[in-house]
Structure 1
């Protein structure tokens, strides 16, 4: 997903264009990591005096509902990032320090024995948390 695609989707779905929405989308476009609502607020509060968490959460929820953003829970907090623009099934490695993500191209469910148990899988999510190369070096991991 990118800003142009996201704005077009909002328009197609009947949502109006606002500068705040564009700036939120641009913030996610500029970052390659998951962001919390507080990160969005901190980045935009100087530009929009009186910007509230309610406004941020409403837009983040809308963007998630429309598939513009995807979410994960890190440290007990919901975080967001642009949905992947890949059209193939994959999962993510997520750095606990900087929040950067990297694709895992092999699905661990491909070797799962769950299908042998008579359980019909509808969906799944697989994320691996740790430290990217740069953050791992800083922590001497």
Structure 2
């Protein structure tokens, strides 16, 4: 997954929100920027420890919570995965995931199946949609 923002742009977005750029936070952002798919906190920890061996899982979780709260990263809860996964967010970028049932790899899909304005439950036509998630399941070319 190639981020739509450069690491410099991400760092500027962090600073614009009044957050410090700690070495651990910068490395978490680097790891997420280089990731090909959303990562678990454990996967992020392993990657960050390559350059920051002293970092703890608590530090990873605190930073993930803060960066998620600030809208800089997104938490992805794919149905076939045990743990939440994290990925960089960029303004105006809306996407969904296709998940391989064989190997578990996820792929980003840059489209939405339906405009949200047309979706209404019959029981509550005044329902206001504020977000959604959409996943497609199948088998990647390696698992077919």
State the TM bucket, normalised to the shorter chain.
0.7 to 0.9
- How many pairs does the alignment contain? 135
Which residues of structure 1 form unaligned runs of 5+?
A: none
Residue 106 of structure 2 corresponds to 99
Residue 11 of structure 1 corresponds to 15
Which residues of structure 2 form unaligned runs of 5+?
A: none
CA distance in structure 2 between the aligned counterparts of 1:68 and 1:120, rounded to whole angstroms: 28
- Aligned 1:1-141 pairs, distance under 5 A: 2=5, 3-74=7-78, 75-85=81-91, 87=92, 90-96=94-100, 97-107=104-114, 109-114=116-121, 117-131=124-138, 136-140=140-144
SS at structure 1 position matched to 2:77: strand
Asked whether the 8 Å contact 2:24–2:55 carries over to 1, the reply is no
Asked whether the 8 Å contact 2:120–2:127 carries over to 1, the reply is no
Q: Which has the higher helix share?
A: 1
SS at structure 2 position matched to 1:117: coil
Asked whether the 8 Å contact 1:115–1:121 carries over to 2, the reply is no
Asked whether the 8 Å contact 1:32–1:101 carries over to 2, the reply is no
CA distance in structure 1 between the aligned counterparts of 2:97 and 2:113, rounded to whole angstroms: 12
Asked whether the 8 Å contact 1:63–1:69 carries over to 2, the reply is yes
